Amino acid sequence: MIDNKLVQEIIKTRSYNKHKRTSSQSIRDHEQISKRIFNVGVMLDFVTAFFEKKLGSYVTVFSLLEIATKVSIKTKIKLDRLAKRNRTALLCWFAEHWNKVYPHLFQSDETSDDHQFSNPNQDSCDPELSIYIPPESIKLLEVLDISRLLN
């Protein structure tokens, strides 16, 4: 069982965007992103750590969007407007669809150059990155092992 106190501590460490939101669209977008972050919970931290480990220290929205576009075509999962415009919303999209998206991440096909997504400083056969989370375990994600999230 997940310790709620530990989950709350992890969530407190997240940084938040403190821009003034002057337009109604900006306010709506921020509220939708906040709801998505709340709904995916700690899975957002897991997905962020996965991409940072696979692609390097900080993953840009452009590299994530390129991966998400290819994966959404393969899986026929629509990439929403917010995910196309905002890095956090895009990471939430990955977290929301993780079990469908994960098998297609970093697959190389004959027609594309997916090797550009791999981190050149990392071995391609890292067994720690071959993590599949079964659907029934998504809510019971073991967060007690912080090293899985951070390393």
Res 121: pLDDT:
44
- Per mean pLDDT, which range of 46-60, 91-105, 133-147 is the poorest? 133-147
55, 74, 86, 107, 131 from 98: Cα distances, Å: 17, 14, 18, 15, 11
pLDDT for position 128: 52
SS3 for 32-45 is HHHHHHHHHCCHHH
Distance (Å, whole) CA 114 – CA 71: 11
**What is the residue-averaged pLDDT of the chain?**
75
Give the pLDDT mean for 105-123. 52
Measured between alpha carbons, how far is 134 from 120 in angstroms, rounded to an integer? 29
The better pLDDT of the pair 27, 16 is held by 27
Q: Tell me, what's the pLDDT at 22?
A: 75
